[in-house]
Structure 1
Amino acid sequence: MADAEIPAPAPSAGPAASKRSDLPVRLASAVVMLAVAGLAVWRGGVALDGFIALVGLVVYGEYVRLAARIAPDPARMTAAVITGAIYIGWAALALIVMPVPLLIGVMGLVIATDTGAYFTGRALGGPKIAPRISPSKTWSGLAGGMAAAGVWTALFTLGGAWLISAIGPVGPSLAEALHIANLGIAALAGAVLAIAAQAGDFYESWLKRRAGVKDSSRLIPGHGGFFDRVDGLLPVAIIVGTAWALGASA
């Protein structure tokens, strides 16, 4: 009599299945976040400033929480708290002082960077940038993020130039917009800012690695914390907002 075949164990639901089960929650959270942020931008003024300040305070709280798990003594904890206050406070202030169109451009650039990096990295794979800090980040993803940010910045600049051309005697003109806008410089600036956005992402990943946590908090269902969502925005806001403030005061 032949031995009875022992059935193979059913495959366990791994990380991929877990991610799929979280997808509705992630999508719902993303829609709510975009709606709230969009409403704040639409209202502008005090509502927008208050929204940015509130998010900045929450992000700072999450940063301090990570620092408290890392700092080995009160002196280093104090240094970390001060560093975080400068870093996050500077970025929040930069977002508050910049005009709304520039704010939209900055947010769009960071979204384009993340989107381009995600899909290019998944499609092409390849060598990791810093596997000990962020195992999913690849050089191909960085290149894709830079390309997407360059395209976004060029199109955003072209749109602004088109609106400026509308003031002229002939009205809106694509030819005049192309004459006004330096799309090559705009695309190059977008690509460089994409590197800054990725650096902000790596910085937060490094903090979480040292703190031994996956997310900065659990405030946003399916997404982690606010710091997880704006890590790339912080350095870009500092660079663009400071450059705009210096240019406006010159």
Structure 2
Amino acid sequence: MSTPIPNGAGPTGPTGRWGDLMPRIISALVMVVVALGAIWAGGLVFILVIALCCGGMVWELTQMLAPRRSGTALQLGAAAFGAVCLAGVLPVPLGLALLLLPVVLGWLKVAEAAKTRFAIFALWVVFAGYSFIWMRGTLGADWLIWLALVVIATDVAGYFAGKIFGGPKFWPRISPKKTWSGTSAGWVAAALVGLGAAPLFDMGFALVLASVLVSMASQAGDVAESALKRQTGVKDSSGLIPGHGGLLDRFDGMLGAAAMFLLLFTFLG
């Protein structure tokens, strides 16, 4: 279940500024190994990993919006897992239609006040998951690895710059820990990833610019999820990942990055 915000918890946490660093590093290494293995394997292995993540995120989303209905959360998480799995192997029009199933089921099951928020975030999750499957199958592993590296660089640079330099908050009412120093460091790190990857894709400054835009979108995804947590009164979307919270906490940036990549691909190719 989601974790309530503890009373009186300071911005650095009860164990100091770097208290969460080791759990974050260990969890991150495990996730990187799993992600790289799934990307390398492709096919059904990659589809299953993405579908599991999507199902977990929809489960967390339902727990946040309907915390007393754990049965409903499991049902909707399972529906999202099944929909993304099948969408990954079905023809595109049928697959896209199938992704609406967990959204419609959630609309029928969650409380009236939570319907719109559930629909928006659930749509975002399942369509982003499907976009990763499409990218791996259509564009290959290279673009997917570049996208992941941009998001990872943004997160890592933002985390360390925010901890070291601090400074004015980016949006204190929504995301009280995010600083302008961390945000801008994320853009710089993403630009460096784009600069390093440009020769591999036979691209120049365009990939640097695309990397920065994807970085901004990943940060927007983080802010959107932070706003949802503030509205629902939870600190983390769940406790599944030590040092990181839940799947939504960890992959909100990837969801935003996927949306920006598809936008750039659609209009620029």
TM-score by length of 1: 0.76
Residue matched to 1:43 = 41
1:239 aligns with 2:260: yes
Over 3 Å counting, the alpha-carbon distance change for 1:127 and 1:19 in structure 2 is closer
Residue matched to 1:205 = 226
User: Quick one: which of 221, 227, 243 aligns to 2:248?
Assistant: 227
Structure 2 spans left out of the alignment, 5+ residues? 1-12, 68-109
Asked if structure 1 preserves the Cα contact closer than 8 Å seen for 2:198 and 2:208, the reply is no
Residue matched to 2:143 = 102
CA-CA distance at 1:141 after TM superposition: 1.5
Residue matched to 1:53 = 51
User: For 1:170-209, what aligned pairs fall within 5 Å after superposition?
Assistant: 181-182=203-204, 184-209=205-230
Residue matched to 1:15 = 14
Asked if structure 2 preserves the Cα contact closer than 8 Å seen for 1:62 and 1:225, the reply is yes
Query: What amino acid does structure 2 have at the position aligned with 1:143?
Result: S
1:86 aligns with 2:123: yes
Cα offsets for 1:4-41 (capped at 9, x unmatched):
xxxxxxxxxx7235953x55444333232222222211
Aligned-pair identity in percent equals 39
Cα offsets for 1:73-103 (capped at 9, x unmatched):
8323222222222111111111110132111
User: For 1:144-155, what aligned pairs fall within 5 Å after superposition?
Assistant: 144-155=185-196
Aligned to 1:214, what secondary structure does the other structure show?
strand
Residue matched to 2:66 = 68
Residue matched to 2:26 = 28
1:139 aligns with 2:197: no
Structure 1 spans left out of the alignment, 5+ residues? 1-13, 162-180
Aligned to 1:224, what secondary structure does the other structure show?
coil
Query: What amino acid does structure 1 have at the position aligned with 2:250?
Result: R
Cα offsets for 1:181-229 (capped at 9, x unmatched):
22x2221221122111111111111111121111100112232111111
Asked if structure 2 preserves the Cα contact closer than 8 Å seen for 1:67 and 1:211, the reply is yes
Q: How many angstroms apart in 2 are the aligned matches of 1:202 and 1:53?
A: 24
Cα offsets for 1:43-96 (capped at 9, x unmatched):
111101111111011111111222226xxx832322222222211111111111
Q: How many angstroms apart in 2 are the aligned matches of 1:41 and 1:86?
A: 23
Asked if structure 1 preserves the Cα contact closer than 8 Å seen for 2:17 and 2:163, the reply is no
CA-CA distance at 1:154 after TM superposition: 2.0
Query: What amino acid does structure 2 have at the position aligned with 1:221?
Result: P
Over 3 Å counting, the alpha-carbon distance change for 1:18 and 1:147 in structure 2 is closer
Query: What amino acid does structure 1 have at the position aligned with 2:210?
Result: A
Q: How many angstroms apart in 1 are the aligned matches of 2:58 and 2:263?
A: 20
1:127 aligns with 2:168: yes
| Structure in which a larger fraction of residues adopt strand | 2
Query: What amino acid does structure 1 have at the position aligned with 2:54?
Result: G
TM-score by length of 2: 0.71
